[in-house]
Amino acid sequence: MDFSALRFLVIGDVMLDRYLYGKVQRISPEAPVPILELEREENRLGGAANVALNLRSLGCQVSLAGVIGTDSFGDTLLEEAGRMGIHTYGILRDENRPTTTKIRLIAHKHHLLRVDREKRAPLTPPQAETFLLKIKALLQDKPHAVIIEDYDKGALSLESIQAIIGLSQERGVPVLVDPKKDNFWAYSGATVFKPNLRELGEALGVSLSEAPIPEIEEAVLLLRSRMPHTYTVITLSERGLLAYGEKEGFLHIPAHYRNIVDVSGAGDTVVSILAVGMALGLPLEKTTALANLAGGLVCEYVGVVPVPKDRWLEQAYSLGLL
């Protein structure tokens, strides 16, 4: 299936994921910690950049807007994005912050440690204005959808979020949101709002981790009453997805059986496929089923990886989703 005509704008907190792979054969004499004998290093696009990568892995056209530092990690991120064919006009470079980088130490397919390098301060008013001007310019091309990927790293604010939603609405462009805690309630008017179950519970001040589906449905209705939006999609981990639309009502899409290796980046994949389904004009049930399928597939790989297009399409066709 050809997705090359689909165009997306991904906005939010971009990151570089670094993986240090090796083997552990001894314990340090200096402290009771394993010694990782480094064998290879790998850089991958993370955060909002991983959403863009997921869309590019399907052949879509993608522009990325975010904030990085003027450091070597920022150079690496831009190089990797360019190599993958992701447009980076929307990237703002800030000399006063490091590029958000997650460094993972891995031995024998197991994570030993993660080191985060970041500064979460909000943009200065001049930076925020420049960032929004870049986004306005990218919206002139009227993409099929805008995806806001918020990781609470400082690229987005209450004001910029509402401005992006307003500008998108003026152009008739749907907005899909993957929220985090700080700006959770800032997305009134979004087309698709996709928190995970833990994030929904924290925002509402209730525990939903072991809640039955009817109780989660009540939480979704409360969410929608406090912050109106068109479609709600809640990722439920091993229980799949729960979606709601005014016409469709509640849809529970069970998870497929998977050999789970690493859940990192699964949410990025889900929101990416939701955007594709919306761009194709698919009904909510098919769109969420396709996203659920893709989110499970990436969990079979170590680290943050984009959706494996051929496997996803093969299984989607076999299930009658495409």
Can you tell me whether residue 222 is helix, strand or coil? helix
pLDDT of residue 257: 65
Task: Return d(Cα 179, Cα 13) in angstroms, integer.
Answer: 11
Position of tokens 């958000």? 100
- Domain 7-15+46-100+119-318, CATH number (from 3.40.1190.20, 3.40.50.12780, 1.20.58.1610, 3.40.50.300): 3.40.1190.20
Task: Return d(Cα 268, Cα 282) in angstroms, integer.
Answer: 20
Residue 119 backbone dihedrals phi, psi, to 5 degrees = -135, 125
Task: Return d(Cα 127, Cα 227) in angstroms, integer.
Answer: 28
Show the CA angle centred on residue 229, arms to residues 227 and 231, nearest 5°: 130
* Cβ-based neighbour number of residue 115 at 10 Å: 11
pLDDT of residue 68: 97
- Structural domain boundaries in the chain: 7-15+46-100+119-318
The candidate with the shortest Cα–Cα distance to 118, out of 171, 155, 86, is: 155
Q: Can 71 be counted among the known catalytic residues?
A: no
Local mean pLDDT, 10-residue blocks, the chain (322 residues): 94 96 94 94 94 95 97 97 97 96 91 94 95 96 96 95 96 96 95 96 93 96 97 92 95 77 74 95 94 85 77 88 84
Task: Return d(Cα 101, Cα 251) in angstroms, integer.
Answer: 36
Cβ density class 198-220: b for 16+ within 10 Å, e for less:
ebbbbbbeeebeebeeeebbebb
With 0.85 as the threshold, say if the pTM is over it: yes
Helix (H) or strand (E) holding 270: helix 266-279
pLDDT of residue 316: 87
Determine contact, residues 131/67, Cβ cutoff 8 Å.
yes
Of the residues 13, 17, 262, 268, only one is catalytic, namely: 268
* Cβ-based neighbour number of residue 140 at 10 Å: 8
Task: Return d(Cα 91, Cα 68) in angstroms, integer.
Answer: 7
pLDDT of residue 259: 62
* Cβ-based neighbour number of residue 194 at 10 Å: 24
